[in-house]
Structure 1
Amino acid sequence: MLQLIYKSAATVPLSSAELSRLLMKSRAHNDLCDLTGILMYHSNAFLQVLEGPDHAVEETFERIAADPRHKCLQVLRRQEIEERSFREWSMGFVCSYGRWLEEMPGFEEFFQRKGSFPREAGDQALRLLKEFRYSSRRRQVDLGYAPLMVR
């Protein structure tokens, strides 16, 4: 099983409606392909982890890389895994507009970084996404960012 984490910049800011359509389409695709993960959108940047069968992750990532809504796409981690980190979500999603997420250790630094990332950025991204998962459960996923749709 493969886990792939990437960061990219949006070519244009996406509206809530556009993000909702993207999420619905992604969840339907991921359900069919046995993929799980999470997508974070903040400051016109995407951070996503995809997990599942190698061929499904690679094909999905190729489609994302060809999507004109992305630029400056950088793979932060691509590794074989024994178990999924986000198995409960066909595609968890967060679009942050609130403070508590930005106060998570490393969040703002990670999203404000320009240019290429150091080798350890994949570990940092995974920690950040896992911390979000943990924090969202603790906080009942209702604290100042919208739309938040976790599944």
Structure 2
Amino acid sequence: MYSSIAVIGFDLPALDELLQRSRVANAEADVTGLLLFREHRFLQLLEGPESAVREKMSLIAEDPRHERVRVLLEEHVLVRQFPEWTMGYAADGALRAASVPGYRTAFDDIDSLPDNQVGGPVASALRELIRWFRTE
């Protein structure tokens, strides 16, 4: 799971186009996951073969539309969390209304962490968020 800041503005049509292209590319690479976008921030979970996920992360890190790409949670799991989702997506308003555990109301705690040092409450919140999406 990583976070990044969008350098360009994404309105709903631009985000829909990004999702459409990502879903096709992810299906071809056998990558599944979840994308959240709020206040110019991406929070994305990618899962699949390690080489495919690392390739996607390299592309994202080099993409000029992103800055401050940070891996927040990296785990090897035996079973995918979202095997049917080439890229699941949820809008900010729906998440707020649902009182999602682990939902970020601010990013101060993530921003204040040194690069490559994430754990504790941030990792716990991310795991709760993943569990909620998986079951809901």
Q: TM-score, normalised to structure 1's length?
A: 0.76
Query: How do 1:130-141 and structure 2 match up within 5 A?
Result: 130-135=131-136
Q: State whether structure 2 residue 89 is matched by structure 1 residue 88.
A: no
2:97 maps to amino acid: W
* Structure-1 separation of matches of 2:87 and 2:54: 16
Partner of 1:100: 97
**Larger fraction in helix:** 2
Query: How do 1:1-151 and structure 2 match up within 5 A?
Result: 5-98=1-94, 99-101=96-98, 103-109=99-105, 111-113=106-108, 114-116=111-113, 118-120=118-120, 121-135=122-136
The answer (yes or no) to whether the contact 2:103–2:125 under 8 Å persists in 1 is no
* Structure-1 separation of matches of 2:84 and 2:36: 16
**Helix, strand or coil for the counterpart of 1:24?**
helix
**Helix, strand or coil for the counterpart of 1:108?**
coil
**Larger fraction in strand:** 1
- CA 1:129–1:43: 2 relative to 1, 3 Å: farther
Task: Give runs of ≥4 in structure 1 deviating > 4 Å.
Answer: none
Could you tell me how far 1:118 is from its partner in structure 2? 3.6
Could you tell me how far 1:62 is from its partner in structure 2? 0.4
Percent identity, please. 33
* Structure-2 separation of matches of 1:45 and 1:19: 12
* Structure-2 separation of matches of 1:66 and 1:122: 25
Could you tell me how far 1:115 is from its partner in structure 2? 3.0
Q: CA RMSD in A?
A: 1.8
**5+ unaligned residues in a row in structure 1: which ranges?**
136-151
Could you tell me how far 1:26 is from its partner in structure 2? 0.7
**Helix, strand or coil for the counterpart of 1:93?**
strand
Could you tell me how far 1:55 is from its partner in structure 2? 0.6
- CA 1:104–1:70: 2 relative to 1, 3 Å: same
Could you tell me how far 1:112 is from its partner in structure 2? 3.1
**Helix, strand or coil for the counterpart of 2:24?**
helix
**5+ unaligned residues in a row in structure 2: which ranges?**
none
